[in-house]
């Protein structure tokens, strides 16, 4: 008896195991048969009848499905019921897109400045000590009060006078640059600056965000603006927040009836969805599942495998391109393998850094590890349409003629302009169609894969190989490298994997450490690493570089061991190069949108590349994916009206462009 | 009086000492981490927007002050105790300006609800099943239950939770993937039914393992009782089976079981960390996990403090009330 | 040997448990013959289903699931063994000395032990492991786990000793003039050994469970193969979502089998060795 039931139990477990294997071993593309008893997860049934799906929708709020646009909230809100965006803490993603306005917004896709609460661009006087702004005279707060210059002046003076209102460092910076602000008319304002500053307007020009306008008539009644939670907020944007989840998983926004009295409504010219619901489902897998069930209309990014699943299960979903390479490639940032040049003397030698660059096979990295979906770039400048025109195209000739010295008198041209073509060939080999010229789709050329040249560069500096082919440093000790990367930053970690594999094959003992995000960034701050995988861009979408490269000035240099930001700026690379300082000083006084400024920046970049201070490999990509089950009209590669990055403040135009799918 | 001096007072002192040491250890360990919360916060602030160097420095100054990280470890320790004793668990580092009190307040209800019910359900199920299995050792159903639970018991909890999620929320999408409930809180059917739906899987995963544990314990205890004299006498006297089972066998196994129940309820505050992370349940276990990952000292401290106090107090109460349950101790 | 044969013949749980363990040990032995090194990626074509060539399929990093499983089982067992050895050594030493010596030493050490019991272990371990993430090795993980699990066991050993001390046969021994050492070894040990064994196995299971939990969260040594890290990498590359479940089923099934195997063997062995049931058996056999 005892034996029998034990054996039968074991058999039961085995059966369950076999069942699961049977589910798993089926072709990856088709949904699992799963015994047939229960409905197969989403796949075929859902997309056939969107109207039916409305009834089994699992949304946490009770609004008609075809009137609500469900967006990925990206993370679970930990700060709830606080909409005071002028202090550090309350969450801004997509909330500021839907509700907050600043003066101008720089769109990352088109590179153009969009007039938000201002009616025209900033007007400086000749020596950049005064800035005049004209505001819109047709926008209103959600409680019916009109937006005027009084709000503008009140906002600036309140932030300037209260150091706690320091979101984005606005209070500090206003105090640093601004002398006084005055209204010169009901809808015009003049700023008087302390020193000449052609970039003062950038405080009000959103890359991520710009100084949010405060409603004077609300805040002036409050005792302490820093502790005021501004709940519910009075908004200048097209939406107000109507329901929030106390546990931070979702938030419901309702469109204002007078949406046409807000900048987004005026500029885009259409109402946008009646309701917007942001909801956090969990990790990539859960988002993909939610979208396949019709419970999510857009997600901001998922990992590659989850995205493939979306393609397989949700025919109405699409990313920037409908087909390969799918992802949105024009977010302004790039990914580097960055050196801590003070962690070991070998990294301070530029030839060693060049050798490491030449030991990487960028085509393999971009195709096998990244899947071919991000653009290649050798500069910390992403090859977006506008930035390519300003930097990468004009510099192409310089790249092709660039020479480095291998041995005394022996020169070598490291640049390979055909990299995009090679990637295109790979793509076609995989059966994909390339939607444009290779240089448009896959980025620019990169360094050649030349381990033999890399070897010669190393040997020149006293490196040698031991009996197993592993590299020994000039002092005879084995070359081991600590390469650190956070696994939850997908592309960075995969890039790190590629570097590990390739540099190991080259003969270096690479120790890849997948660190907890906070530990990784801490190590970056204090310099406890050899090579890390950060991300940055040296230029804003407007093309201006100074705000981004300013920190590289040798004035901010801090030696290894202390937090590199101890003087406010600095870089994890611990670079202390006076020549960089010269370039930066030159840029400082120039008009950011002038050709002069760009020319200086190009020289800066040439110097940077000659010294190979970092190895930039790829630019950012995001699988921002929209489901056309209920909503359409969002920006795509066929319709690149605005950037699809809906969580930036400039995402307001993407939201506003949405129209319901007509049945 | 003697009882107080010999038994209760030392026990109370022990309770205080245990909490004190536990809290001190939890104060120190995160500070041994190389992760600096101010550096992290500055990093977070500059992740999206470009902070000017001046703004970066200003931010660091204000944060050091705000987080109470000025001064030596000893000074921080003193300030920390002062704050704790006035009931203020401080501001959360990562979720500023939310206070730790507020965040725990939001989350604790979920954990208590989930763990409170599952602990009690698992205990009752385990005791009854264990008693039955101990008494009716040779029946086929008894062996089946025993074998199933013995097979489940050793499986690592994460695997149980993961397999449940895989089967019931993914392959057969019956249950939702994340969250505590849908909709706005209120005493309506929609909200309450969504509450049940969201908590079913986490509860099931906990109940499986906990019942198995209680069952094994209970069966062992019941088996010992079953072979004792008074039970055999009762059987010979042809007393009804049910009476023997409940009034004699199970009742006499209650002592260690009830103390275990007390201790289990005390450890509710520890939160079911893995459960909440796997199922996305918004309790304090989840909050603690996020706090650990993001080096939020105050939050870690707050939740751990709650847990230590909960367990120590439950243990104290069990020890103090034990004499009332067990006559043998009383007569010592 | 007679013991093993008897157990095999008469105890179904031992039979099943031992069979499972045998297969596990075969797996571990096979790991020494693996054609692939455990840290070599892109050794085989990626994402292939189970087939004749790749028994359990391949992973997204280009590794053969079956051969990696052999390493995983081996490493997980090593971690658990080392952890148990460390934890139980401390626990036994502390518990027994506490139980035998009594008095002030007992009171002080009991308080210390109670303090450690009260501190929630999982958050503490997650905290330490997240700090050490990236620097964790297999042995490091084992030591960390071992240092966690000594408090409760030491309490149990102490309780056992205390109850044994009060037993009749102990008093008999003392009256008969046996010295402490003889009492401990002749009278108490036979009771303690089955208890120790069962306890060691429960510690072993606890260590495996914890290792899986930590590694799945990415806090173990993700560059080595353990049951937990196999699951971690499976999740990282979305094996569930992309229906490549063979990557996950292998380690999950292995972990279930390992624990069930050990558990069955341990309960059958301890029932067998428990002096009370042994006496009962001897009575029956006459």
B136-178: per-residue pLDDT in tens? 877 888 888 888 888 888 788 888 888 888 788 777 777 776 6
Least confident of A271-280, A633-642, C138-147: C138-147
Residue A663 gets which letter from DSSP?
A: -
Mean pLDDT of A275-290: 87
Mean pLDDT of A326-350: 93
pLDDT of residue A602: 95
Residue A67 gets which letter from DSSP?
A: G
pLDDT of residue C81: 92
Q: How confident is the model at residue B186 (pLDDT cuts 50, 70, 90)?
A: low
How far is the C-alpha of A219 from the C-alpha of A238, rounded, in Å?
20
Give yes or no for B144 touching A (CB within 8 A): yes
Give Cα A443 to chain centroid, integer Å: 17
What's the pTM value of the predicted model, to 2 decimals?
0.82
Strand A464-465 and strand A446-447: the pairing is unpaired
Residues in chain B: 332
Q: Which residues of A touch B36 (CB under 8 A)?
A: 522, 525, 563
Closest by CA position to A24, among listed C65, B29, B321, B147: C65
Mean pLDDT of B106-110: 87
Helix (H, G, I), strand (E, B) or coil at A200: helix
Mean pLDDT of C57-80: 90
Give yes or no for A513 touching C (CB within 8 A): yes
Chains that touch C (3 or more CB pairs under 8 A): A, B
Rg (CA), chain A: 27
Name which of B154, B155, B292 is nearest C123 (Cβ-Cβ).
B292
Q: Which residues of B touch C130 (CB under 8 A)?
A: 292-293
For the segment A475-530, what is each residue's pLDDT rounded down to a tens digit?
Answer: 999 999 999 999 888 899 999 999 999 999 999 999 888 887 888 888 999 999 99
Give yes or no for A26 touching B (CB within 8 A): no
pLDDT of residue C276: 63
Q: How confident is the model at residue A135 (pLDDT cuts 50, 70, 90)?
A: very high
Chain A residue nearest residue C251, CA to CA: A17
User: What is the count of residue pairs from A and C with beta carbons less than 8 Å apart?
Assistant: 85
Give yes or no for A199 touching B (CB within 8 A): no
Q: How confident is the model at residue A58 (pLDDT cuts 50, 70, 90)?
A: low
Chains that touch B (3 or more CB pairs under 8 A): A, C
Residue C176 scores a pLDDT above 70: yes
Determine what percent of chain A is predicted with pLDDT higher than 70.
91
Q: Which residues of A touch B95 (CB under 8 A)?
A: 78-79, 89
pLDDT of residue C281: 60
Residue A37 scores a pLDDT above 70: no
Q: So what's the ipTM on this one?
A: 0.80
Residue A52 scores a pLDDT above 70: no
| Phi, psi of C154, deg, nearest 5 | -65, -35
Chain B residue nearest residue C255, CA to CA: B155
Mean pLDDT of chain B: 80
Give yes or no for C34 touching A (CB within 8 A): no
pLDDT of residue B116: 87
Q: How confident is the model at residue C8 (pLDDT cuts 50, 70, 90)?
A: confident
Q: Which residues of C touch A26 (CB under 8 A)?
A: 243
Determine what percent of chain A is predicted with pLDDT higher than 90.
67
Least confident of A250-259, A293-302, B60-69, C224-233: B60-69
Residue A6 scores a pLDDT above 60: no
Least confident of A28-37, A395-404, A411-420, C238-247: A28-37
pLDDT of residue B245: 78
Least confident of A160-174, A538-552, A644-658, B222-236: B222-236
Q: How confident is the model at residue A54 (pLDDT cuts 50, 70, 90)?
A: very low
Give yes or no for B9 touching C (CB within 8 A): no
Q: Which residues, 6 or more positions from C122, have their beta carbon under 8 angstroms from its beta carbon?
A: B270, B273, B274, C213
pLDDT of residue A43: 30
Give yes or no for B13 touching C (CB within 8 A): no
Q: Which tokens is C31 given? A: 């790991």
A487 to C223: CB separation less than 8 angstroms, yes or no: no
Q: How confident is the model at residue C161 (pLDDT cuts 50, 70, 90)?
A: confident
Mean pLDDT of A439-455: 93
User: What strands, in cross-sheet order, belong to the sheet with A123-124?
Assistant: A123-124, A130-134, A188-193, A178-185
Closest by CA position to C58, among listed A28, A191, A83, A479: A28
Across A304-339, b (16+ Cβ under 10 Å) vs e yields bbbbbbbbbbbebbbbbbeebbbbbbbbbebbbbbb
Residue A65 gets which letter from DSSP?
A: G
Mean pLDDT of A430-440: 91
Q: Which residues, 6 or more positions from C116, have their beta carbon under 8 angstroms from its beta carbon?
A: C151
Q: Which residues of A touch B184 (CB under 8 A)?
A: 61, 243
How far is the C-alpha of A224 from the C-alpha of A220, rounded, in Å?
9
pLDDT of residue A18: 46
pLDDT of residue A454: 94
pLDDT of residue A392: 94
pLDDT of residue A316: 93
Q: Which residues of A touch B106 (CB under 8 A)?
A: 80, 246-247
Long-range residue pairs from B118-123, CB within 8 A, at least 24 positions apart, any chain: B118/B203, B118/B206, B118/B207, B118/B210, B119/B210, B119/B261, B119/B264, B119/B265, B119/B268, B120/B261, B121/B203, B121/B207, B122/B206, B122/B207, B122/B210, B122/B211, B122/B214, B123/B210, B123/B214, B123/B257, B123/B260, B123/B261, B123/B264
Strand A104-106 and strand A205-206: the pairing is parallel
Mean pLDDT of chain C: 81
Residue A117 scores a pLDDT above 90: yes
Helix (H, G, I), strand (E, B) or coil at C13: helix
For the segment B225-278, what is each residue's pLDDT rounded down to a tens digit?
Answer: 777 788 888 888 888 888 877 777 777 777 778 777 887 787 777 668 888 888
Q: Which tokens is A47 given? A: 């997309």
Highest mean pLDDT among A212-216, A323-327, B294-298: A212-216
User: What is the count of residue pairs from B and C with beta carbons less than 8 Å apart?
Assistant: 97
Give yes or no for B34 touching C (CB within 8 A): yes
Residue A591 vs residues A201, A211, A553, A598: alpha-carbon distances, Å: 11, 21, 19, 10
Name which of C118, C213, C217 is nearest B22 (Cβ-Cβ).
C118
Chain C residue nearest residue B213, CA to CA: C202
Q: Which residues of C touch B267 (CB under 8 A)?
A: 120
- C interface mutation test: which of A305, A430, A490, A510 has the most C CBs within 10 A? A305
Mean pLDDT of A633-644: 92
Considering only residues C262 and A9, tell me which one the structure prediction assigns the higher pLDDT: C262
Residue A346 scores a pLDDT above 60: yes
- A interface mutation test: which of C61, C237, C238, C268 has the most A CBs within 10 A? C238
Residue C105 vs residues A38, A587, C108, C109: alpha-carbon distances, Å: 62, 74, 5, 6
Mean pLDDT of chain A: 87
pLDDT of residue B234: 83
Q: Which tokens is A294 given? A: 């019709």
- C interface mutation test: which of B31, B111, B143, B154 has the most C CBs within 10 A? B154
Q: Which residues, 6 or more positions from A342, have their beta carbon under 8 angstroms from its beta carbon?
A: A348, A527, A559, A560, A574
C130 to A516: CB separation less than 8 angstroms, yes or no: yes
Give yes or no for A338 touching B (CB within 8 A): no
Q: From the CA of A620, how many Å to the nearest CA of chain B? A: 14
Give yes or no for B286 touching C (CB within 8 A): no
- A interface mutation test: which of B35, B108, B110 has the most A CBs within 10 A? B35
Name which of A13, A25, A305 is nearest C242 (Cβ-Cβ).
A305
C238 to A23: CB separation less than 8 angstroms, yes or no: no
B158 to C212: CB separation less than 8 angstroms, yes or no: yes
Long-range residue pairs from C266-271, CB within 8 A, at least 24 positions apart, any chain: C266/C17, C266/C197, C266/C198, C266/C201, C266/C202, C267/B150, C267/C13, C267/C198, C268/C7, C268/C11, C268/C13, C268/C14, C268/C17, C269/C7, C269/C14, C269/C194, C269/C197, C270/C194, C270/C195, C270/C197, C270/C198, C271/C11
Q: Which residues of A touch C236 (CB under 8 A)?
A: 487
A622 conformational bin, left if phi > 0, alpha if psi -120 to 50, beta if neither? beta
């Amino acid at each position: 008896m005892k034996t029998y039931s034990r054996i039968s139990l074991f058999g039961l477990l085995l059966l369950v195991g076999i069942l699961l294997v049977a589910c798993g071993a089926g072709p990856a593309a088709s949904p699992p048969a799963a015994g047939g008893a229960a409905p197969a997860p989403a796949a075929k049934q859902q997309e056939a009848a969107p109207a039916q799906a409305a009834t089994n929708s699992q949304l946490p709020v009770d609004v008609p499905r075809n009137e609500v646009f469900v967006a990925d909230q990206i993370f679970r809100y930990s700060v709830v019921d606080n909409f005071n965006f002028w202090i550090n803490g309350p969450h801004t993603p997509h909330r500021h897109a839907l509700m907050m306005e600043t003066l101008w917004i720089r769109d990352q896709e088109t590179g153009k400045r969009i007039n938000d609460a201002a009616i025209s661009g900033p007007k400086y006087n000749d020596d950049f000590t005064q800035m005049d702004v004209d505001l819109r005279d047709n926008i209103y707060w959600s409680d019916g009060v009109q937006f005027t210059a009084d709000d503008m002046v009140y906002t600036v003076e309140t932030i300037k006078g209260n150091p706690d209102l320091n979101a984005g460092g606005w209070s500090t910076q206003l105090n640093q640059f601004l002398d006084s602000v005055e209204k010169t008319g009901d809808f015009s304002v003049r700023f008087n600056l302390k020193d000449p500053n052609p970039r003062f307007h950038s405080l009000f020009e959103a890359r991520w965000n710009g100084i949010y306008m405060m409603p004077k008539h609300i805040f002036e009644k409050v005792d302490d603006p820093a502790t005021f939670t501004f709940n519910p907020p009075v908004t200048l944007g097209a939406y107000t927040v109507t329901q929030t989840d106390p546990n931070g998983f979702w938030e419901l926004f309702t469109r204002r009836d007078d949406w046409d009295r807000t900048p987004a409504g005026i500029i885009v010219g259409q109402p946008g969805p009646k309701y917007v619901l942001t909801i956090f489902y969990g990790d990539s897998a859960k988002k993909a599942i939610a979208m396949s069930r019709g419970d999510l209309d857009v997600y901001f990014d998922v990992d590659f495998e989850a995205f493939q699943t979306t393609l397989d299960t949700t025919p109405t979903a699409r990313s920037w391109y409908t087909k390969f390479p799918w992802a949105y490639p024009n977010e302004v940032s790039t990914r580097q393998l960055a050196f801590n040049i003070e962690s070991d003397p070998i990294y301070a030698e530029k030839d060693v850094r060049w050798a490491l660059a030449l030991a990487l096979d960028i085509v393999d990295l971009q195709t096998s590890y990244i899947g071919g979906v991000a653009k290649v770039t050798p500069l910390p400048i992403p090859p977006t349409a506008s930035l390519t025109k300003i930097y990468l195209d004009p510099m192409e000739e310089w790249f092709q003629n660039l020479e480095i010295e291998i041995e005394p008198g022996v020169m070598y041209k490291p640049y390979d302009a055909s990299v995009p073509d090679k990637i295109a060939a790979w793509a076609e080999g995989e059966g994909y169609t390339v939607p444009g010229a290779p240089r448009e789709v896959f980025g620019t050329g990169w360094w050649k894969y030349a381990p033999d040249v890399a070897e010669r560069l190393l040997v020149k500096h006293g490196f040698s190989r031991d009996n197993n082919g592993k590299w020994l440093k000039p002092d005879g000790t084995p070359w081991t490298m600590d390469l650190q990367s956070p696994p939850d930053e997908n592309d960075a970690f995969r890039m790190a994997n590629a570097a590990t594999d390739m540099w190991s094959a080259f003969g270096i003992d690479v120790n890849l450490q997948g660190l907890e995000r906070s530990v990784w960034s801490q190590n970056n701050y204090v310099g406890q690493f050899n090579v890390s995988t950060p991300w940055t861009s040296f230029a804003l979408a407007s093309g201006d570089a100074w705000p981004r490269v300013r920190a590289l000035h040798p004035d901010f240099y801090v030696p290894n061991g202390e937090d590199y930001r101890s003087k406010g700026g600095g870089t994890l690379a611990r670079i202390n190069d006076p020549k960089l300082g010269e370039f930066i000083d030159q840029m400082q006084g120039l008009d950011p949108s002038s050709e002069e400024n760009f020319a200086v920046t190009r020289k800066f970049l040439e110097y940077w590349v000659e010294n190979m201070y970092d190895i930039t490999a790829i630019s950012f990509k995001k699988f921002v994916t929209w489901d056309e089950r209920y909503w359409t009209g969002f920006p795509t590669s066929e319709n690149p009206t605005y950037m699809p990055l809906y969580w930036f403040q400039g995402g307001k135009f993407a939201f506003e462009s949405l129209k319901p799918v007509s049945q | 009086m003697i009882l107080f001096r010999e038994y209760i007072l030392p026990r109370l002192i022990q309770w205080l000492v245990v909490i004190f040491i536990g809290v001190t250890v939890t104060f120190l360990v995160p500070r041994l981490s190389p992760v600096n919360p101010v550096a992290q916060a500055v990093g977070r602030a500059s992740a999206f927007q470009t902070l000017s160097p001046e703004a970066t420095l200003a931010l660091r100054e204000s944060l050091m002050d705000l987080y109470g990280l000025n001064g030596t470890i000893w000074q921080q320790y003193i300030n920390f105790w002062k704050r704790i004793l006035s009931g203020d668990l401080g501001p959360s580092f990562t979720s500023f300006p939310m206070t730790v009190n507020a965040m725990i307040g939001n989350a604790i209800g979920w954990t208590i609800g989930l763990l409170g019910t599952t602990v009690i359900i698992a205990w009752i199920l385990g005791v009854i099943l264990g008693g039955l299995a101990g008494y009716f050792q040779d029946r086929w159903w008894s062996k089946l239950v025993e074998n199933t639970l013995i097979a489940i018991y050793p499986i690592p909890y994460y695997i149980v939770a993961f397999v449940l999620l895989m089967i019931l929320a993914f392959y057969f999408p019956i249950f939702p993937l994340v969250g505590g409930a849908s909709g706005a809180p209120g005493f309506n059917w929609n909200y309450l039914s969504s509450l049940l739906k969201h908590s079913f899987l986490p509860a099931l995963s906990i109940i499986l393992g906990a019942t198995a544990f209680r069952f094994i314990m209970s069966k062992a205890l019941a088996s010992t009782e079953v072979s004792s004299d008074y039970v055999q006498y009762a059987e010979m006297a042809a007393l009804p089976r049910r009476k023997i089972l409940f009034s004699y066998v199970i009742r006499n196994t209650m002592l260690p079981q009830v103390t275990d129940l007390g201790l289990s309820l005390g450890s509710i505050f520890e939160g079911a960390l893995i459960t909440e992370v796997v199922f996305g349940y918004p309790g304090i276990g989840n909050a603690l996990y996020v706090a650990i990952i993001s080096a939020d000292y105050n939050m870690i401290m707050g939740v751990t403090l709650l847990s230590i106090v909960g367990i120590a107090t439950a243990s104290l109460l069990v020890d103090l009330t034990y004499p009332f349950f067990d006559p043998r101790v009383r007569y010592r | 040997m007679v013991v093993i044969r008897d157990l095999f013949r008469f105890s179904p749980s031992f039979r099943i448990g031992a069979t499972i363990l045998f297969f596990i040990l075969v797996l571990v032995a096979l790991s020494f013959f693996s054609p692939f090194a455990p840290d070599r990626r892109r050794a085989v074509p990626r994402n292939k289903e189970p087939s004749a060539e790749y028994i359990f399929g391949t992973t997204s990093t280009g590794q053969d699931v079956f051969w990696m499983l052999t390493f995983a089982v081996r490493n997980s067992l090593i971690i658990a063994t080392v952890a148990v050895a460390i934890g139980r050594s401390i626990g036994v030493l502390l518990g027994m000395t506490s139980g035998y010596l009594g008095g002030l030493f007992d009171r002080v050490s009991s308080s210390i032990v109670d303090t450690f019991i009260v501190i929630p272990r999982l958050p503490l371990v997650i905290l330490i492991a997240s700090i050490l993430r990236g620097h964790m090795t297999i042995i490091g993980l084992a030591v960390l786990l071992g240092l966690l699990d000594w408090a409760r066991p030491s309490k149990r050993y102490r309780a056992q000793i205390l109850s044994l001390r009060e037993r009749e046969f102990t008093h008999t021994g003392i009256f008969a003039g046996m010295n402490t050492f003889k009492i401990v070894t002749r009278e108490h040990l036979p009771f303690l050994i089955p208890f120790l064994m069962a306890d060691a196995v429960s510690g072993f299971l606890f260590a495996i469970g914890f290792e899986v939990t930590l590694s799945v969260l990415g806090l173990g040594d993700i560059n080595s193969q353990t049951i937990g890290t196999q699951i971690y990498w499976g999740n990282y590359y979305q094996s569930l979502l992309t229906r490549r479940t063979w990557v996950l089923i292998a380690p999950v099934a292995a972990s279930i089998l390992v624990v069930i195997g050990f558990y069955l063997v341990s309960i059958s062995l301890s029932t067998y060795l428990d002096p009370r049931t042994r006496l009962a058996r001897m009575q029956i056999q006459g």
